Amino acid sequence: MGLAVETGMLADLIANDPEGAEWTRESLARVNEVLAENNLPQHNEPEHLPRMHNRAATLSYPYSFLHHLRRVFARVTNDPDWMPTPTPDGDDPAEDPILDEEMCMMSSHLLCHSDAEGFYLPIDFNDVMIDDKDQDRIPGGLLGSSYRLLEELVRIAPKLGIALDDGQLSDAEADKINKDSESEEGLWIEKTVWISLFEAARLSIEHKTAVCFA
C-alpha cells in the first residue's frame, strides 16, 4: 500500500469505473457544500479531459515518502538558512519536532493535509480548509488549494537543487529530477515527492481538475 497522486480522476473513472465515478461525484458535492459555506466558488470536476502530460516518472510511493519532503519544508520555513540533508537512517521524518511545530501552525497546504486521502482543488484560497460542522464532508479532514501547494513547492525548489525559471519547470530539469530520483542518492526521496506534487498541482490549475490523494 502507498500514496498515489492523481489528477483527472473523475474523467478516468467515468471511462473505467462507473461506481467509483459516482462515489467521486458525491464526495465532491459534499466538498462543494463546505466551499459554499465559506463563500468560495464551487469546483466543477471535468468529466472529459484531453491527454495530460505528467512529467513525473513516479506517481505513487510509500506514505512515508511524503514526510521526507514535509520535513525539509518545515525546517526551511523554521530556519531559512538551514541546508537540507536526508533524514538520518533510522529516524522517522514524521516525528521531527520542527515538522510537528510547523504543522500546528496550520499555515501550510503541503504540511496540513491527509497522508492518504483528500483533495487539492484549483481554487485560490489562503487558509487550509477544515469543516467545523461535519468532519465527514472533507475526505481526510483537510482541503487544500492547488495554487497554494504550487507556491510552496516553488519556494522550496532551490533548497532541493531544483532550478525553475520564474516558477516554471523545464522538460530538461524534470528529466534531471527523475534521474536524481532513480539514483536513490542524497535527497532523492524528497525530489521524487516534489515533482509528483508539482506536476499534479500544475495540471490541476491548467485543466481545472482536482489533485486527489488515494
Whether 149 and 190 have beta carbons less than 8 Å apart is answered as no
Whether 20 and 124 have beta carbons less than 8 Å apart is answered as no
- Residue among 2, 1, 5 nearest 110 (CA): 5
Residue identified by cell 489562503 is 126
Q: Along the 214 residues of the chain, how does pLDDT read in single tens digits?
A: 699 999 999 999 999 999 999 999 999 999 999 999 999 999 999 999 999 999 999 999 999 999 999 999 999 999 999 999 999 999 999 999 999 999 999 999 999 999 999 999 999 999 999 998 887 899 999 999 999 999 999 999 999 999 999 999 999 999 999 999 999 999 999 999 999 999 999 999 999 999 999 9
* pLDDT, position 1: 67
Domain ranges for the chain, please list them. Answer: 3-213
How much is the pTM?
Answer: 0.97
Q: Which three cell numbers, joined as nine digits, stand for 105?
A: 501552525
Residue identified by cell 475526505 is 139
Name every residue whose Cβ is closer than 8 Å to that of residue 70 and which is 6 or more positions away in sequence.
93, 94, 99, 103, 110, 111
- Residue among 21, 26, 18, 19 nearest 10 (CA): 21
